[in-house]
Structure 1
Amino acid sequence: MRNFKEKFKLKLAENNYKFTRQRELIVETIVENENWHFNAEELFEAVKEKDSEIGMATIYRTLELLEKLDLIHTLDFNEESRVYELYIEEQHHHHLICKGCGKLVEFSDQGIEDFEKELEAKYDFCIDEHKLKFFGYCRECRDK
């Protein structure tokens, strides 16, 4: 994940943004929790433990910038909150989302990737992105 920080620095420079201490701390916090799906408030709480002077506005601005630079993705699972995750090209995956408790499960499936290739061939179409989300109920919520 160290290269993520370097990638961030490079993208900032390419787009004429400064690499500030606040941005560095926010990115480090995200990277420390690399398998973390987080919302802005959770990130704020984690960053605040390291530097109480960083405000919520800085968190939102940095998340916006990270998304603009294609370093994180917003996952819109429900209307109540936006959830973010690191965007790592080599780790394409999909999500199972529990409508009861909000639990997120990541999964990869070669069959879906093969299906994408079939669609491209069948329709002479170049797919450069897809997002697949399944909604339902986890075992714990079904057992309640």
Structure 2
Amino acid sequence: MKRVKKQIFHDYIAKQGLKSTRQRDIILEAFLSSERHLSIEELYLKLRAKHPNIGYATVYRTLKLFADSGIAREMQFGDGQTRYEHVGEGEHHDHLVCTGCGTIIEFENETIETLQNEVAAAHGFLIKTHKLELYGLCARCQR
């Protein structure tokens, strides 16, 4: 899957007339290797120790390119930061967001998906896309 996403990104930047650079490839590898919903700051800090020549603006612009190419999705979870997550073909999940510590838990639930479709159908509505985010406290923050 990682190889497919890399190819999608490289095809996209070529089509845009942009250069494939070593810095973009390093950022791409770090992003695809992470399982978290990364903010620009988090990815920048992750890269900085090993690659001090990669600046914050480069990480910012590259993450935007990931979103534009379709391999990443920009997410807002109410903390004022844009976070980026991987996008997989035909894959869908929802989020539990802890308002205490900021933990984000991905989940899938077929019952919720079925209910959403039933509600839409009852109103003659065709869902094109959706997102479900539930905000509250994780088990650790409840203690």
Same fold judged by TM-score > 0.5? Answer: yes
Instruction: State the Cα deviation string for residues 80-106 of structure 1 (Å, max 9, x = none).
Output: 322211111333100001111111111
Counterpart of 2:17, as a letter, is N
What TM-score, normalized by structure 1, do the two folds share? Answer: 0.87
Alpha-carbon distance in 2 for matches of 1:15, 1:127: 31
2:94 corresponding residue in structure 1? 94
Counterpart of 1:16, as a letter, is G
Are 1:69 and 2:83 counterparts? no
Report the more deviating stretch, 58-67 or 73-82: 73-82
Aligned length: 142
Alpha-carbon RMSD across the aligned residues, in angstroms, is 1.7
Report the more deviating stretch, 120-129 or 6-15: 120-129
Are 1:42 and 2:42 counterparts? yes
| Unpaired runs of at least 5, structure 2 | none
| Unpaired runs of at least 5, structure 1 | none
Query: Is the Cα–Cα contact under 8 Å of residues 23 and 54 in structure 2 kept in the other structure?
Result: yes
1:57, CA displacement in angstroms?
A: 0.7
Secondary structure in 1 matching 2:105: strand
Aligned residues with identical type, % of pairs? 36
Alpha-carbon distance in 1 for matches of 2:28, 2:42: 14
Report the more deviating stretch, 71-80 or 114-123: 114-123
Are 1:28 and 2:29 counterparts? yes
Alpha-carbon distance in 2 for matches of 1:28, 1:130: 28
Query: Do the aligned partners of residues 126 and 10 (structure 1) sit closer, same or farther apart at CA in structure 2, a change above 3 Å counting?
Result: farther
What TM-score, normalized by structure 2, do the two folds share? Answer: 0.88
Alpha-carbon distance in 1 for matches of 2:108, 2:139: 20
